[in-house]
Amino acid sequence: MEGDRQFVYQPIQRPREGGFRATLFVFGLMLLDNIGFVANMASLVLYFMNVMHFSISGSANTLTNYLGTAFLLTLVGGLISDSYMSRLNTCLLFGGIELLGYLLLIIQSHYPELQPEVCGKYSCVDGTKALLFYASICFAALGGGGLRGSAPALGADQFDPKQTKEIASFFNWFLFSITVGASIGVTVVVWVSTNKGWDNGFIISMVCSFIGFCSVAVGKPYYRARVPGESVLLRVLEVLVVTIKNLKVELPQNSRDLYEIDDMGRERIRHSYQFRVLDKAAILPEGTTPKKWKVCTVTQVEEVKILTRMMPILLSTTLMNTCLAQLQTFSIQQGSLMNTKLGNFNVPAASIPIIPLFFMSLLIPLYEILLVPLLRKLTGHPNGITHLQRVGVGLVLSAICMTLAGIIELKRKNAFVDHNTRISLFWLSFHFAVFGIADMFTLVGLLEFFYSEAPPRMRSLSTSFSFLSLSIGYYLSSVFVEIINSVTGKLSSNNVGWLEDMDMNKNHLERFYWFLAVISVLNFGNYIFWANWYKYKKDVPVDRQKLMDQSFSDASMRFTAKIDDLIPPSNKI
């Protein structure tokens, strides 16, 4: 069909291309860039509250909106690296944008005259100060999001799609590199930001990211490159448009009558019977010439079906990320009202995420080296357990985490109000640790799932869905906070919602945590339904399919010949 560009990998020209050696540069990038990115996830809520003078709920919502936007923009990075640029060039493009965002943050945090005055409102920033502030976080969100939309696929592309064990192992170590970088960020960078100045913390973040981008660029000779294909969005849109055009056309009884390009070496996807209405896009009327926007191939239709099947899985995991948003906003604010002493050292409240990161740093290598081989023997699955089972474990743990968080907040508030004492910051470690384990299972499970199930030409876009789940979760957090405040404010005697009071000890954060725990349990039931409903795709290269068809034909001819030999000549017609 005219204009149908095939998704291809650049042939391996030198033995050193691809493999785990090439992924080391990607691991270096993610480790260094996440030093600043995750440090900001943990501490920006304090920057918004203490420097930009947002209210408690205002600073929490501003952070969740910032992170939601950053993770939503991973789709932009995924689309560009699938359709228009190489994965490496996409990483470097968005890396430059992220550095610009850091530069603007450094300037505003360094000069007091560029910071707003205290005003006691939801937000105190306006005018030129607002322009500088929102420009800085927008550039940082766009750069950080676009980078995360292309980097996972850049690393996974270093392996053949059939190397499922190696790809699964890559994603485990990919998360490990993120975890190590995040651990450095929430300890060193957060301490510098809160004790030596926010501008110094942003400088460290920018320098680390710059070194990371240099690292991934140096690895170019080792990468197994991929040639960008046609626009993913246009391929999806084409299927939808042609389907609408053919709505009144009757589907053929046999799926083999649907249109498919019979090219040797072109990877195609087997026809499936879900979403049959989309098959109408692959109907080629007799006597017509196949043209774009007139008919689509079965493989192109199946690509859209795969993306459609993924959506319920994606949406079922967003609530877990709403729970994560609470740990990066309200839990940090909780920590500022607790005893932060560790001996003679004063631990910054924003460094408390080191606890789940510490657990993840220990558990990821143990999971990869010990648990996966053991599970592989028990289940027979090459990855130990399936991607969707791994995600399910994380969802269960997130509900447990929210239950613990509510109990610990109640203990903190009772000790502060009734006994005028501050319990140790490390009480937060219980639910942070549980969530760290949950995140280890869910994030890697989603990355593996979306990459392995995605059509080859859509793998960056699909891995971006893992971060899209984060994005929706953060936005949902802001919505929940507003709804909870609105509803409970109307029901309370003083017209103040659970999370509205400027004094956190007068709020009812524990009730909000338990609300999320109940919703998480209900959501897990929803996830089980969709996980059981999901049908895994099967890729079939055309040359292999031809070989199978030819083998079947040859076998049939041999069988017929043998039967023919058994019939006496006198009985033959």
- pLDDT tens digits, one per residue of 365-399: 888 888 888 888 888 877 778 888 889 999 999 99
440 & 504 share domain: yes
65 has a pLDDT exceeding 90: no
pLDDT of res. 227: 65
Both 527 and 543 in one domain: the answer is no
Q: Is the pLDDT of residue 57 over 80?
A: no
Which residues in 416-442 are b (16+ Cβ under 10 Å) and which e? beeeeeebebbbbbebbbbbbbbbbbb
Q: Is 2 within a domain?
A: no
Q: Is residue 251 part of a domain?
A: no
β-bridge partners, 341: 346
Q: Are 318 and 526 in contact (CB under 8 A)?
A: no
Q: Are residues 435 and 569 in the same domain?
A: no
Mean pLDDT, the chain, integer: 82
* Cα–Cα distance, 264 to 478 (Å, whole number): 51
First to last CA, the chain: 46
Mean pLDDT along residues 316-327: 84
User: What is the average pLDDT across 48-65?
Assistant: 82
How far apart CA 303 and CA 83 sit, in angstroms, is: 15
Q: C-alpha 478: how far from its chain's center? A: 19
Residue 253 lies in a domain: no
Considering the domain boundaries, does residue 104 fall inside one? Answer: yes
Which of 28-32, 127-131, 228-232, 347-351 bottoms out in mean pLDDT, i.e. has the lowest?
A: 228-232
188 domain-assigned: yes
Q: Tell whether the model's pLDDT for residue 511 goes beyond 60.
A: yes
Burial degree of 95 (CB within 10 A; 0-12, 13-18, 19+): buried
Whether the Cβ atoms of residue 64 and residue 329 lie closer than 8 Å to each other: yes
Q: Report, as an integer, the average pLDDT of 46-62.
A: 83
Shared domain for 311 and 411, answered yes or no, is yes
User: Are 427 and 561 in a shared domain?
Assistant: no
Quick check: is 249 in a domain?
no
pLDDT digits (tens, 9 = 90+) for 428-477: 888 888 888 888 888 888 888 888 888 777 777 777 887 888 888 888 88
For residues 177 and 187, what is the distance between their CA atoms, to the nearest angstrom? 16
Assess whether 402 and 480 both reside in one domain: yes
Q: Do 325 and 441 belong to one domain?
A: yes
If you write DSSP's letter for every residue of 211-228 in order, what string do you get?
HHHHHHHHTGGG---EE-
Instruction: Tell me the mean pLDDT in the region 404-423.
Output: 89
Separation between Cα atoms, residue 456 and residue 553, nearest integer Å? 30
The predicted pLDDT at position 352 comes to 76
Copy the structure tokens of residue 503: 């004094």
Based on the domain organization, do 455 and 555 belong to the same domain?
no
Tell me, yes or no, whether 49 and 94 share the same domain.
yes
Of 52-61, 136-145, 195-204, 518-527, where does mean pLDDT reach its minimum?
52-61
**Are 185 and 202 in a shared domain?**
yes
Cα distance between residue 215 and residue 26, in whole Å: 8
**Are the C-beta atoms of residues 211 and 76 closer than 8 Å to each other?**
no
Same structural domain, 548 and 416: no
Selection from 502, 488, 391, 402 nearest residue 438 by Cα: 391
Distance in angstroms (rounded) separating the CA atoms of residues 554 and 557 = 5
Cβ atoms of residues 149 and 107 within 8 Å = no
Residue 572: predicted pLDDT = 43
| Assigned domain for 234 exists | no
Query: Taking 50 as the threshold, does the pLDDT of residue 570 lie above it?
Result: no
pLDDT of residue 10: 47
Number of folded domains that form the chain: 2
Q: Provide the token pair at 452.
A: 């392995």
Q: For 59-90, b where at least 16 C-beta lie within 10 A, e where not — what string?
A: bbbbbbbbbbbbbbbbbbbbbbbbbebbbbbb
Q: Which of 104-108, 516-520, 530-534, 551-555 has the lowest mean pLDDT?
A: 551-555
The CATH number assigned to the domain holding 128 equals: 1.20.1250.20
Q: Are 442 and 426 in contact (CB under 8 A)?
A: no
Q: Which domain holds residue 382?
A: 8-228+302-533
Digit-coded pLDDT (tens) for 82-102: 778 888 899 999 999 999 999
Is the domain of 489 the same as that of 561? no
Residue with tokens 């070496």, as numbered in its chain: 265
Catalogue the E-assigned strands of 314-468.
341-342, 345-346
CB 334 within 8 A of CB 409: yes
Report yes or no on 201 lying in a domain.
Answer: yes
